[in-house]
Amino acid sequence: MSFRRLAPVEQQPATFAFSEENQRLVDQWITKYPEGRQRSAVIAALWIGQDQEGWVTKALIEEVARILDMAVMRVLEVATFYTMFNLAPVGQYLVQVCTTTPCWLRGSDDVVAACKKHIAPAPHTISADSKFSWMEVECLGACVNAPVMQIGKDFYEDLDSPTAERIFEALRRGETPKAGPQQHHRHSSEPEGGALTLNDPKLYDGGYAREVMRRSGVDTTDAEAKKPTQGASDREAPVQKPPGAAT
Amino acid sequence: MPTRKLIIDGKEVEAEESITLLQACEQAGAEIPRFCYHERLSVAGNCRMCLVEWVGAPKPQASCALQVKDIFPNKDGTPAKINTRSPYAQKAREGVMEFLLINHPLDCPICDQGGECDLQDQALYYGRSNFHRFNENKRAVEDKYMGPLIKTIMTRCIQCTRCVRFATEVAGVPDLGGTGRGEDLEIMTYLDKAFDSELSGNAVDLCPVGALTHKPWAFIYRPWELRKTNSIDVHDAQGANIRVDSRGGQVLRILPRVNEDVNEEWISDKSRYACDGLKNQRLDRPYVRKNGKLVPASWSEAFELIRAAARATRPERMAAVVGDLAAAEEIKALKDLMRALGVVNLECRQDGAKIGGPRPSYLFNTTIAGVEFADALLLIGCNPRWEAPVLNARIHKTWLNSAIKIANVGVPYNLTYPVEQLGGSTSVLRGITDGSHSFARVLRDARRPMLVVGPGVVARADGAAILNLAAKIAADTGMIGPAGKPAEGGWNGFNALHTAASRVAALDLGFVPGEGGRDMAGILDGAGKGEIDFVWLLGADDVDTGRLGNAFVVYQGTHGDAGAHRADVILPGAAYTEQDGIYVNFEGRVQRAERAIFPPGQAKEDWAILRAFSDVIGRRLPYESREELRRALVADVPHMANDDALPGSAGTDPAIWNNIGAAGELDERTPLASPIADFYLTNPIARASETMAECSKVYVTGAIKMAAE
């Protein structure tokens, strides 16, 4: 991390106004906090503003300060504290490459090299075609699929140099490459080449459960025992696949 | 108040639960080093210098952020043991100090904080002394612009955030902040804007290292070379306690002294930085006007000329005006001299304020410390931020810590706290008086309501009528309570605010028109019409000198300002740092200032000039020394002897409140406003100061643009 400053005046747009929809969102966030505590919505407001503008401009900071009735300095403090706020213009596609230890061990240096080759030699620089910019970030929280990069709101996982370059080229052509794991035929974060643990079929046919029920003296039918609870079915919306059938 | 037993350094003490461990340790006599902690600011707990050992706790404890009520006793019921000097605590502090010094530059020899630097001192007493372990490059931080008064060398910053908390909590101007985080935290203003507070110099005092230093005083002194003199500030009427630091014949700097009842430990930037005005444009020898030009003269020549003019004038055609910076002694001497000559046209209110009469009617009766007890405040045409910045900080503090309701009748000013604007016209006041205005209810329902009448209000043509209304409001809404201190239930919520340091002393001494005498307007009119032929100005530069007509003007003062330009004879006097003096602040508090340096050149102490002239004109004043003069002063006004007298006059006879000012027509069209057009240029000393001129350009006229705009 380095000293974080607002972008130079030449890059700053003169004004900022929330779009109607975003203004509604900001108002919604403000109502989440008790009366007189509207300042708590500052991060949300900046985030919504960054969503709209791509980066946090001086005008945005001043607008947020005005809406939340805060000193401009206080908003600037928040904007410079959190590295998720971009203080300078970014490309249409902002590539955030994770270089924290697990990703680095799995080859994030190659992804960074691909960025340098395809986008710009230095981070925080907009590419020649003004479509991309890239930066290194700390852990994106997808270590099982390392190395990882985030483009916009999508995670691209299981990368290496060629896959990363393929993604950049596709984006450049205007396509939207499929997000998620790019290699190893993975659907999400399951083990490469199939599961090595939890392979016992008895785990899934209710065999163990029957044993437990029998011991505790509860007599339950299979169908009932397998039925997920309401909460669990809400959480696990996608259809569950049997283990080992990931390919 | 619930207390808790602690064993601090082997000594069993009983500590109040509401205080912090750091305070408890100090009460027990232990010295705790600290950087970020400050009594008057919120607790940040980020420097970690105040670590102590709590025996049994897994880690050393930051004593500033640990409340006594959170320290539980040991399992066997014995009091918790706190060690402030054990090897464990020492090692912890050494570690912290080592971290702080990793990035702190070794530029003490060229640093203005050197010699009075907390980091320097504490590194000596609490740091590692034998070796250091860091050979890496130090972090470097860009310097920031914070205005014409604060010089920054931000590499020295240890990120204690005292300045940020001061700006927000005391000054009420949240211009300072810390951007970035961790090692990269930087203290700055928004886009290099100047720190727009009249109290900004105090942030420099608070800085424990040399990151913020006084820009006007850069590289001109070392603190150990300076002679320190206790004095009283005269740039406003608050009477802030100051320390004048001088070397040779020069005042090099002015710092605040702690006085909880007056200024806590703050002073305004004008009080602090106008001291360079003490050496510019000084009158260092007598001058007389010959053929329209002022030429240097000797004392006897000047006196002879005045004697001739005074002898040739009948007393009713003579007048004397006291300026804003005079001490009680010279006012008394001038009054005695004029009385001996039979002059009744005496005036101490050069702004034409219609104030005087019973003492409570011109005092800030609530007292400055008493403001903190108020729960409703009505400002009448005043801008305390400019008229008394330190008082404004006290109101801000009250607003921060209580539910006080503040409203303003008059032109709206940015006072750093929210104020309900009731409108600018005097008709609002009438509404409050007869109860038709909603704020009358607020005042009536308040337990301790107060009002402040600004100096601009009483100086209006209808000033007496407004004063009369204000006194009525005070009496009707229960502002006048029983006698005693506010903390003990005594209350008087009627307050007049002054900007002139000499005003209350002069009114106490009765330096006002005598029987058939003329007031300020009368003197100016008379001079214009040729009815006043002789005017003695004692440091009075804010009268309209263009209206003095053909009168013979004696200017006794310090600076080549408006009065001296009009004068026929100039008698060079002493500034407030150059003579002892008694000052009475707007609360009625009597305070003594001490002489720090001698007046320049042939200039003399003011009372001595008057005493010498009285001899020349054959009306010798009956005192040979300042001590004798003071005895005469006390014989005249007994409370002048009493430095500890309860200022203000809580619980005075309710009957007087019906006869204050004079009922009369109100001018409802001119809005009530503060008389100060430029905070930085209100008196001859400030007007001679280059620093104040620059401040005025940055903060008031905008001739130098602030970077953020």
For residue A2, the chain B residues in CB contact (below 8 A) are 184
From B187's Cα to the closest Cα of chain A, the distance in A is 10
Report chain A's mean pLDDT, rounded to a whole number: 86
Q: Which distant-in-sequence residues (6+ apart) come within 8 Å of B329 by Cβ? A: B580, B581, B582, B606, B607, B626, B629, B630, B633
Q: Are residues A66 and A109 in the same domain?
A: no
> Assign residue B239 a region: left if phi > 0, alpha if psi is -120 to 50, beta otherwise?
left
For helices B463-476 and B426-433, angle between their N-to-C axes, nearest 10 degrees: 30
Work out the end-to-end distance of chain B between its first and last CA atoms, rounded to an integer number of angstroms: 51
Q: Do A80 and B182 touch (CB under 8 A)?
A: no
Examine the domain organization and report whether A110 and A175 are in the same domain.
yes
Collect all residues with Cβ–Cβ distance below 8 Å to B179 and sequence separation of at least 6. Answer: A4, A5, A76, A77, A80, A81, B185, B186, B188
3 state DSSP class of B33: coil
Tokens encoding B85: 């000097």
Same domain, A74 and A18: yes
Same domain flag for A75 and A107: no
pLDDT digits (tens, 9 = 90+) for B261-308: 999 999 999 999 999 999 999 999 999 999 999 999 999 999 999 999
Extract the tokens encoding B339. 């009385």
Mean local confidence (pLDDT), B582-594: 94
Query: Residue A196 contacts by C-beta under 8 Å, 6 or more apart in sequence?
Result: none
pLDDT at B651 over 60: no
B175 to A81: CB separation less than 8 angstroms, yes or no: no
| Interaxial angle between packed helices A72-81 and A58-68, expressed in degrees from 0 to 180 and rounded to the nearest 10 | 120
Residue A244 lies in a domain: no
- Asked whether residue A133 falls in the same domain as residue A208, the answer is no
pLDDT, position A186: 83
Domain boundary among A54, A81, A108: A81
pLDDT tens by residue, B628-650: 999 999 999 988 988 766 666 65
Residues A156 and A217 in one domain: no
Q: Do A77 and A97 share a domain, yes or no?
A: no
Let me know how many helices (H) and strands (E) chain A has, helices first: 10, 5
- Above 70 in pLDDT, residue B147? yes
Last residue of a domain, one of A34, A49, A81: A81
pLDDT of residue B258 exceeding 90, the answer is yes
Q: Are residues A77 and A99 in the same domain?
A: no
Do the Cβ atoms of A81 and B174 come within 8 Å? Answer: no
d(CA A69, CA A48): 17
Longest distance between any two alpha carbons in chain B, whole Å: 95
Strand B61-62 to B51-54 pairing: antiparallel
Interface test with B, best of A39, A60, A77 (most B CBs within 10 A): A77
Together in a domain, A49 and A123: no
What does the pLDDT average to over A190-208? Answer: 81
**A74 contacts on B by Cβ (under 8 Å):** 174, 177
Write b or e for each residue in B517-538: b if 16 or more Cβ atoms lie within 10 A of its Cβ, otherwise e: bbbbebbbebbbeeebbbbbbb
How far is residue B708's CA from residue B694's CA, in Å, rounded to a whole number?
A: 17
Q: How far apart are CA A92 and CA B524, in angstroms?
A: 74
Q: Give how many domains chain A has, as a whole number.
A: 3
Burial of A131 (0-12, 13-18, 19+ CB in 10 A): middle
DSSP reduced 3-state for B659 = helix
| Coil, strand or helix at B344 | coil
The token pair at B663 is 């009922």
More confident of the two residues B652 and B234: B234
Residue B385: what pLDDT? 96
Which residues lie closer than 8 Å to A101 by C-beta, 6 or more apart? none
- Judge if A97 and A174 occupy the same domain: yes
Could you tell me if B176 lies within 8 Å of chain A, comparing CB atoms?
yes
Residues A159 and A197 in one domain: no
Residue environment code for B608-624, b if the CB has 16+ CB neighbours within 10 A, otherwise e: bbbbbbbebbebebebe
ipTM over the 0.85 cut-off? yes
**B153: buried, middle or exposed (CB in 10 Å: 19+, 13-18, 0-12)?**
buried
CB–CB of B256/B240 below 8 Å? yes
CATH number for position A47: 1.10.10.1590
CA distance B274 to B268: 10
Residues of chain B contacting residue A81, judged by C-beta atoms under 8 Å apart: 179-181
DSSP letter string over A79-148?
Answer: HHH-TTS--S---SEEEEEE-SHHHHHTTHHHHHHHHHHHT-SSTT-B-TTSSEEEEEES--S-GGG-S-
pLDDT of residue B593: 95
Average pLDDT over residues B674-691: 95
Chain A positions touching B705 (Cβ under 8 A) are: none
CB contact under 8 A, A1 and B184: yes
What pLDDT is attached to residue B642? Answer: 81
Provide the domain limits for residue A122.
93-181
Q: Scanning every residue of chain B, which has its alpha carbon at the shortest distance from the alpha carbon of A77? A: B179
Write the pLDDT tens digit of every residue in A101-158.
999 999 999 999 999 999 999 999 999 988 999 999 999 999 999 899 999 889 999 9
Asked whether residue A235 is assigned to any structural domain, the reply reads no
User: Which residues is B150 bridged to in the sheet?
Assistant: B214
Looking at residue B25, the DSSP 8-state letter turns out to be H
Written as six digits, the tokens of B662 are: 């004079």
* CB < 8 Å to B155, chain A: none
CATH number at residue A156: 3.40.30.10
**Residue labelled with tokens 């008709």:** B427
DSSP bridge pairs for B295 = B288
- Domain-located, residue A143: yes
Q: Strand, coil or helix: what is B40? A: coil
Residue pointed to by tokens 């110099």: B201
Q: Would A115 be classed as within a structural domain?
A: yes
Name the token pair of B71: 């320290």
Task: Determine the Cα–Cα distance for residues B357 and B494; give it in Å rounded to an integer.
Answer: 14
pLDDT at B708 over 50: no
Task: Give per-residue pLDDT as tens, B467-476.
Answer: 999 999 998 8
pLDDT band for position A231 (50/70/90)?
low
- Pick from B141, B174, B191: which is nearest to A71 by CB? B174
- Domain C-terminal end among A81, A105, A125: A81
Interface contact B192, partner A, CB < 8 A:
no
pLDDT above 70: percentage of residues in chain B: 98
Opening angle at CA B425, ends B419 and B428, nearest 5: 70
In a domain, A230, yes or no: no
Whether residue A68 is found in the same domain as residue A102:
no
Q: What is the pTM of this model?
A: 0.90
Query: Which two structure tokens, joined as six digits, stand for A152?
Result: 């916009």
Euclidean distance between CA atoms B552 and B568, whole angstroms = 6
pLDDT > 80? residue B131: no
Residue A173, in any domain of the structure: yes
Q: Is residue A247 part of a domain?
A: no
pLDDT recorded at residue B706: 58
pLDDT band at B230 (very low <50, low <70, confident <90, very high): very high
Put simply, the chain B residues between 122 and 161 with a CB less than 8 A from any chain A CB are 141-142
> Could you give the C-alpha distances from B115 to B13, B108, B110, B111, B535, in angstroms and in order?
35, 9, 11, 9, 50
Residue A67, domain member (yes or no) = yes
